[in-house]
Amino acid sequence: MVDKHDEVKEIEVDYTRLRIPFGPVHPALKEPVLLRVTVKKEEILDVDVFLGHVHRGIEALAENRNLVQTLYLVERICGICSHSHTTCYVQALEEIGGIQPPERALYLRTLIFELERIHSHLFLLGVMAYEVGFDTLFMFTWYVRERVLDLFEKITGNRVHHSMNTLGGVRWDLDQRMVDDVRATMKDLQKSVHRIYDFFQDKTVEKRLCDVGILNKDDAKRLCVVGPTARGSGVSIDVRRDHPYAAYTYLKDYFSVAVREKGDVYARTEVRLLELFESINLIQKVLEELPNGSIRVEDNVIRLMRRIPEGEAISLVEAPRGELLYFVKTNGKEGLWRLKVRTPTIPNVLGLKPMLLGCEIADIPVVVASIDPCMACANRVAVIDVATDNEKIVDMDFLRRRRKA
Amino acid sequence: MNTLTALLLAFLLVFVISLLFDGIDRKLHARMQRRIGPPIIQPLYDFIKLFSKERIVPVAASSRIFTVSPTFAAAASIMGTSILLANLMLGGSTGGDLIVVLYLLAMSSVLVMVGGSSSGNPYGAVGFSRKMSMLIAYEVPLLLSILSVSLKVNSLSYYDVISVQITAKSMLALTFPSMAVAATAFLICIPAAADAVPFDVSEAKTEIVYGPLVEYGGPFLALFKLAKSASNLALTLLAATLFFYLPAVFGVYALPGLSDLLICLVFALMFWFLTITVPRTIFARLRVGQAFKFYWLVVLPLSGIAVVLSVLGL
Amino acid sequence: MGIRLVASSRVKSPWLFHLNTGSCAGCDIEIVAALTPRYDVERLGCVLVGSPRHADVLLVTGPVTRQMLPRFIRVYEQVPEPKVVVAVGTCASSGTPFMGSQMIEGPVDKIVPVDVYVIGCPPRPEAIVKGIVTAVKRKFG
C-alpha cells in the first residue's frame, strides 16, 4: 500500500515499457478485475492482478441472517454457478444437523448440477469465441445454451438463480413431461456440441488458441489451481471422483475425468468440451436411474433449521470452474458464527502470471477467459487499495474527460 | 454533363451508396448468424445520431490534430471514391488517375492512425503501431497489383483501363493470366484495407477497445465511420471495374452512362460481400504478427508474380 | 422536420455500454443474452460498444461497491450527452439483497440520476430490451 502523501520520488523512466491498465472496465471483461500489464511493444513483461471490485461483504452479512436467509444470500454470490454455492452450503448444514435428504432429492440435485455445468461451459466457449473475434461461433453457442436455460425455467421457474436447494432436499419435482423434455434436449445438444467441437478446430481459431498461455504441470501443482485449469495442465483432480457427494456416490462408474497434458489455452478449452459430453451422458444416466420417493425430508424448513445444533463442517463440490469449498460454523440458535467461502477462481487467478509472461497483448483476453474467471465469486478477500502513486508512466487520470469546444 | 457536375453528383452518391452498402453488409452478416439484423438504412440513423451528440476532447489529447483528422480522413476517402464514380458516369477521364485515388485512400488510413495516437490513450498508441504494421503489410501487394495492370495497359489513367476492356469486349482478369493473378492478390488485400476480421487487428474491440477510435465520440466517430465505408466502396469498385468490367461484355450496354454505373455498383456489392462480409462471419481474428506474415509470405509473392507476368506480356 | 429527424435517429440507434459495478454476473449474462439470436437486440439498432465515449445508453448492473464507485463516476462522465441510464436488476435498483453491508455505496440512483429501473433477479432479456426501448423513447422521442 502506498501512502498518498509521499514526496515525489526520482525514478528512472524507461520509455520503451508501457504500463497498461486492463480493466476493471473493459469490453473483454464482463466483470471488473484490474490487471496492470507492463508491455514492451506487444510482448508482456509483467502482470499484477488486483481483485476486490466486486467485494460486497457477503461473509459479514451472513453473520446477521438466519440459516435459511443465508441460503438465498449465498446463491447470489455468483449468477453462473449459483446452484453449486447452494449445494455446498446446504450439504455443510445437513452434515452439522445430521439430516439425510431422500435419494430422489440427491439425484435431482445432481441433475441440476450437471445442467449448470453444461450452461456454464457453453457460456465460456461463447465468450472465448467472442474474445478471438469469432462472433458467429459466439452467437451459435449461446443459441444452443438457450435450450438449457429453457429446461431450467421448466423445472425450477427461473433461468438464472434457480433456488432449487433447500434444507433437507430440493424444492421442485420432475413430472413425466419434463423428463421427456430433458431427454429430447440432451439428444439435440449432443449434435450441437459436436458441431461446436468442429468449429473450435477451425484454422484461424487454432492459431489464436494453441501454444498460448501455457501453464506447465509443476507450476499448476505449486499454485494449487483447480478445475479445468488444472486438468488442462495434466493434473487429474476432480471432486466428483475423489470425494463424491450427492448422487455421484452412485454414479462413479459412469463418467470419466478429461485430462490434457499440454497446458495451453486450447487444452483447457478441449477439457471443457469433453466435459460437456460427459455431462450429457451423466444426465441421461440420472434420468434412467431416478428413484421414486419424496423430494424433501420435511416441508417445514423452519422446524428443520431449529434442529441444527452448534457445530462446524467443511463441504466440497466440483463447481464448473473447479473445487468449491465452504466452511460453516453454526451457533445453535438458527444463525452462523462464521461462513468462509473459497471459490475456485481464487487459486486460478494466481495462475495468470506464469501464463501471461511472454505472450502478446492480443492474448490477454483469450488467456483470462481460458481460466474461466468468475470475479463475483473471487472477491472474498479484504479490499486491496489501488492507490494513484507518482511513478506511473500512464495514469488513469489521463482518461478523464473534459468538455471542450 | 461536364466534369464539375459529375464530381459533385458523385460526391453525393458516395455518401448515400457507401452507407447503403454498409447497411446491407450488416444485414447479411446478421442473417448468416441466424438473426434478423438491423434495417438496411441503419447506418444513416447512426450517422445522424452521432452528429447530434456532444463533442468531447480528452484532456490528454493534442486537440488540434484530434479534431482535424476525422474531417480530413472523411474528405480524402470521399474524394477518392467520387473520382472513380465520376469517371464511370462521364464515360471519360476526369483527371485524377489511379495514383491519386490510391494516395487518397492511403491518406485516409494514415489519418485514422494519427488521430488515434493523438488521443493520449495507451490503447490508441497500441492501435497506431498495429495499424502501421498492417499498412506496411497490405499496401505493397495492393500497389503491385495495380502496377501490373498499368504495365499491361501502358497507362496510369483509370478510364484507359476501362476503355481497353470495352474495345476488347472482354474482362481483363478473364483474358490474361497475369491479370487473374493480380485480381486474386488485390481481392485478398481488401479485408486488411477494410479492417475486417480476420485482419482487423488495429481496431480489435475485445483487445484494445477499438484502438485508434477509443477516445473518439460523437461527430468525430461519424466522420471516421463514413471514411471507412467510402474507402471500402472505392476498393470494391476498383476490384469490380479494373479487373472485371462487366458492361464491356454486354455489347449493347457498352455506352457510357448510368446503366453501366449501376452494373458496376452491383458487382462492387458482390465483391463487398465476398471479401468483407463473408470473412467477417466465418473467421476469427489473427494476431498482428500472424497477419503480417500472411501478407508478406503469401500475397506479396503473388502480386510480384503478377508484375513479372505482365512485363513478360502474358 | 430537422429536429424530428434527429430525434427519430436517436431512438432508432441507441448504442449500449454495459457497466458492472459489482454484480453477481446474473444480470450481465442476461444483457449479453439479449444480443444472441433468440432475442437479437440489434434489429432495433442497438449495438454493444466497448468504449463509453461511443455510447448513448449506460446499462448499470450491481449495487455499487466501494471500489467501483470512482470508476463508475468516471465512466458516467465519459458518456457524451444526451445519455440515458438504465439500472438493470434488483441490486442496481434498490441494493437488496446486500442491504446493510458496509461495502456497498448504495443503489445506483444514490449516485447518478436513473431513467428506467428494470427489476428482476435477474430480469429476463425481454424485460431488459423493453427497459432500454422505454428509456430511449421517453428521453429522446
Helix A135-156 to helix C26-33 angle (10° resolution) is 120
CA nearest neighbour of A343 among A89, A70, A94: A89
A27 closest CB neighbour out of B200, B206, B281: B206
Positive or negative: CA dihedral A269, A230, A159, C98: negative
Q: Which residue of C has its CA nearest to A119?
A: C29
Residue B290 grid cell: 500472424
Is B38 in the C-facing interface, judged by CB distances under 8 Å? yes
Is C55 in the A-facing interface, judged by CB distances under 8 Å? no
Q: In angstroms, rounded to a whole number, what is the distance separating the alpha carbons of residues C137 and C116?
A: 11
Q: Which residue of A has its CA nearest to C68?
A: A53
Secondary structure letter of residue A383 according to DSSP: P
Which residues of chain C have a CB within 8 Å of the CB of A82? 24, 26
- For chain C, domains (ranges, CATH) are 15-140 (3.40.50.12280)
Q: Answer whether A405 sits within 8 Å of B57, measured CB to CB.
A: yes
C25 closest CB neighbour out of A31, A139, A399: A31
Q: Answer whether C97 sits within 8 Å of A376, measured CB to CB.
A: no
**How close is the nearest chain A Cα to the Cα of B130, in Å?**
9
Which residues of chain B have a CB within 8 Å of the CB of A402? 56-59
Which residues of chain A have a CB within 8 Å of the CB of C49? 27
CA nearest neighbour of B267 among B192, B193, B187, B168: B187
> DSSP strand E in A227-372: where?
310-319, 322-331, 336-342
Superfamily (CATH) of domain A66-345? Cytochrome-c3 Hydrogenase, chain B (1.10.645.10)
**How close is the nearest chain A Cα to the Cα of C22, in Å?**
4
- Which of C15, C16, C24 to mutate to probe the A interface, most A CBs <10 Å? C24
Residue A63 grid cell: 453473520
Q: What is the pLDDT of residue B270?
A: 92
Is B123 in the A-facing interface, judged by CB distances under 8 Å? yes
Is B32 in the A-facing interface, judged by CB distances under 8 Å? yes
- Which of A54, A84, A374 to mutate to probe the C interface, most C CBs <10 Å? A54
According to DSSP, the β-strands at C57-61 and C15-20 are parallel
Q: In angstroms, rounded to a whole number, what is the distance separating the alpha carbons of residues B23 and B63?
A: 32
pLDDT tens across the length of chain A (405 residues): 444 444 455 555 555 666 677 767 666 666 777 777 777 766 777 777 777 777 777 777 888 888 888 888 888 888 888 899 999 999 999 999 888 999 999 999 999 999 999 999 999 898 888 888 888 888 899 989 999 999 999 999 888 888 888 988 899 888 899 999 999 999 999 999 999 998 888 888 888 888 888 888 898 888 888 889 999 998 888 888 888 888 888 888 888 888 998 888 999 999 999 999 999 999 999 999 888 888 888 888 888 888 888 988 999 999 999 899 899 999 888 888 888 888 888 888 888 888 888 787 778 878 888 887 777 776 554 333 344 333 333 333 333 333 222
Residue B21 is which amino acid? F
Reported ipTM: 0.88
* Domain residue extents for chain A: 17-54+347-399, 66-345
Torsion of CA A222, A226, A231, A232, to 10 degrees: -80
Residue B36 φ/ψ, nearest 5 degrees: -85, -45
Q: Which residue of C has its CA nearest to B209?
A: C50
Neighbours of chain C (3+ CB pairs under 8 A): A, B
Q: In angstroms, rounded to a whole number, what is the distance separating the alpha carbons of residues C140 and A60?
A: 43
**How close is the nearest chain C Cα to the Cα of A171, in Å?**
18
Q: Answer whether B122 sits within 8 Å of A18, measured CB to CB.
A: yes
Give the global pTM: 0.86
Query: Does residue A326 contact residue A340 with C-beta atoms inside 8 Å?
Result: yes
> Which CATH number applies to A17-54+347-399?
3.30.390
